[in-house]
């Protein structure tokens, strides 16, 4: 099998912008290709993660983004799995390179979420829920995750304040991330006093509605060696994915089985285990998700994921010393749905190539990404990335 590498990454500004999706994409692409030949001279195909056509009344996103990248007559496809669309684009690009189908592929994601305000985003996101049972009941993303949060509080010793501490940690991380939507730290009292969205979830327990795009160039060793010096590339060492059932009502609310399967598969593919992971970007669409995914990724025992908010030196024996969501996560870096999985890859790339500035984790050489679509593990994609001086 051919090895796949990330050789370049880029992202647009994140937040509420006056740019259409195609221009957000152009900004991400321009950053990724800085110092490289034109995209048409490098990549042989493209996958674009995009959640919904409702925001801009635009499908054919594969063709449109290929056109905007100056690519003609190449394979170009939109992929969708709600918020896991970005990682699905990456997974497909990696598969093509590993299989020798293409030497280099562009994985990108874009979402213009603010076009219809919070209400428009809530309606568009609602299409990811099971229609016969759950959409009919008027369920929303915050409401479904509130069910998970309530159950987690019921089954564990965790408190609403523990969820709040995840938000405080992620806003603190985002304050050191020039890419983040919210670059301000918040204190726990602000978080606890914020308005309720879907109790027990409050404003700071929720990811925001975000415009944004990201682009990642995936290439084989030959293209990587031709275009980049070794420290500027990152290996894709492991991939895993799993689709669980769609209706949250029929799932274990406090064990994200699909994420556990996806992460374990990615660990196995990479030949690592949870203790090897230095940095992880996990899908904290709501604060409770970070605790659940810390458990699913085996960073902490079941019911104790909340403790990964502590500095590694203050964690109980048996917990790994992983740093979670150094970017600020979906919570504070922002969550432009189709782009999110690739923004996770951008952060991991920066950590593993030593470009993460004030949020750099010393000696980080192995990263885990977990990107989810639908409620919790309706669809999960996991990747393990390693720095190039490992197992070269």
Binding site for ligand COA (CB under 6 A): 83, 118, 122, 125, 141-142, 197, 203-204, 206-209, 285, 335
Residue 73: CB partners within 8 Å, gap ≥ 6?
A: none
Q: Which is nearer to ligand COA, 146 or 345 (CB)?
A: 146
What residues contact 106, with CB distance under 8 A and at least 6 apart? 29, 39, 43, 45, 46, 47, 69, 93, 215, 216, 217, 218
For 23, the 3-state DSSP assignment is helix
Mark 99-118 as b/e (b = at least 16 C-beta within 10 Å). eeebbbbbbbbbbbbbbbee
- Minimum CB separation of residue 118 from ligand COA in Å reads 3
Residue closer to ligand COA, measured from CB, 209 or 223? 209
Give the nearest distance from C-beta 121 to ligand COA in angstroms. Answer: 6
Nearest CB to ligand COA, comparing residues 206 and 248 = 206
Closer of 96 and 284 to ligand COA (Cβ)? 284
CA dist 103 and 361 (Å) reads 31
Q: Could you tell me how far CA 44 lies from the centroid of its own chain? A: 24
Query: How would you classify the pairing of strands 201-202 and 234-242?
Result: unpaired
* Dist. CA 325–CA 282, nearest whole Å: 6
Taking the least distance from each CB to ligand COA, the nearer of 83 and 348 is: 83
Contacts of 132 (CB under 8 A, 6+ apart): none
Whose Cβ is closer to ligand COA: residue 7's or residue 378's? Answer: 378
- Crossing angle between the packed helical segments 61-68 and 21-32, to the nearest 10 degrees: 50
Identity of the residue, 191 or 294, whose beta carbon is nearer to ligand COA in the bound complex: 191
The least distance separating ligand COA from the CB of residue 55, rounded to whole angstroms, comes to 13
Assess contact for 194 and 161: CB atoms under 8 A: no
Q: How far is the CB of 142 from ligand COA (least distance, A)?
A: 6
Least distance in angstroms from the C-beta of 285 to ligand COA: 4
Q: Which two tokens stand for residue 151?
A: 């159950």
Other CB atoms within a 10 A radius of the CB of residue 304 amount to 19
Nearer residue to ligand COA within complex by CB, 340 or 351: 340
Residue 109: CB minimum distance to ligand COA, A: 14
Q: Which of 181, 234, 230 is nearest to 350 (CA)?
A: 234
The residues, any chain, with a CB within 8 Å of residue 193's CB and separated by 6 or more, are none
Query: Least Å distance between CB 224 and ligand COA?
Result: 33
């Amino acid at each position: 099998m051919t090895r796949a590498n990330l050789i370049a990454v880029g992202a647009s500004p994140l937040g509420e912008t006056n740019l259409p999706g195609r221009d957000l994409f152009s900004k991400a692409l321009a950053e990724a290709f800085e110092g490289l030949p034109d995209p048409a001279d490098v990549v042989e195909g493209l996958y674009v993660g995009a959640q919904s056509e409702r925001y801009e009344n635009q499908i054919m996103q594969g063709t449109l983004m290929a056109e905007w990248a100056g690519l003609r007559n190449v394979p170009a496809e939109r992929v969708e799995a709600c918020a896991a669309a970005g990682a699905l684009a990456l997974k497909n690009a990696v598969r093509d390179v590993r299989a020798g189908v293409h030497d280099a592929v562009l994985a990108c994601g874009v979402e213009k979420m603010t076009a219809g305000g919070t209400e428009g985003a809530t309606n568009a996101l609602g299409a990811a829920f099971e229609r016969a049972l759950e959409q009919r009941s008027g369920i929303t993303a915050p409401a479904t995750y509130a069910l998970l949060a309530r159950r987690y509080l019921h089954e564990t010793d965790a408190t609403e304040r523990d969820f709040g501490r995840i938000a405080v940690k992620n806003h603190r991380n985002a304050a050191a991330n020039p890419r983040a939507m919210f670059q301000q730290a918040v204190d726990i009292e602000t978080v606890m006093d914020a308005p309720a969205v879907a109790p027990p979830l409050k404003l700071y327990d929720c990811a925001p509605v975000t415009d944004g795009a990201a682009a990642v160039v995936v290439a084989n060793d030959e293209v990587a060696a031709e275009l980049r010096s070794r420290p500027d590339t990152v290996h894709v060492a492991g991939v895993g994915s799993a689709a669980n059932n769609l209706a949250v009502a029929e799932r274990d609310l406090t064990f994200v089985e699909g994420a556990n399967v996806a992460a374990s598969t990615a660990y196995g593919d990479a030949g690592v285990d949870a203790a090897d992971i230095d940095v992880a970007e996990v899908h904290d669409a709501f604060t409770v998700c970070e605790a659940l995914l810390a458990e699913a990724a085996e960073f902490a025992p079941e019911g104790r994921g909340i403790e990964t908010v502590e500095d590694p030196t203050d964690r109980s024996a048996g917990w790994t010393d992983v740093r979670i969501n150094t970017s600020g996560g979906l919570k504070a870096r922002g969550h432009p749905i189709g782009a999110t999985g690739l923004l996770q890859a951008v952060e991991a790339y920066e950590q593993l190539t030593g470009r993460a500035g004030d949020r750099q984790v010393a000696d980080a050489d192995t990263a885990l990404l977990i990107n989810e679509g639908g409620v919790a593990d309706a669809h999960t994609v996991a990747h393990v990335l390693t720095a190039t001086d490992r197992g070269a």
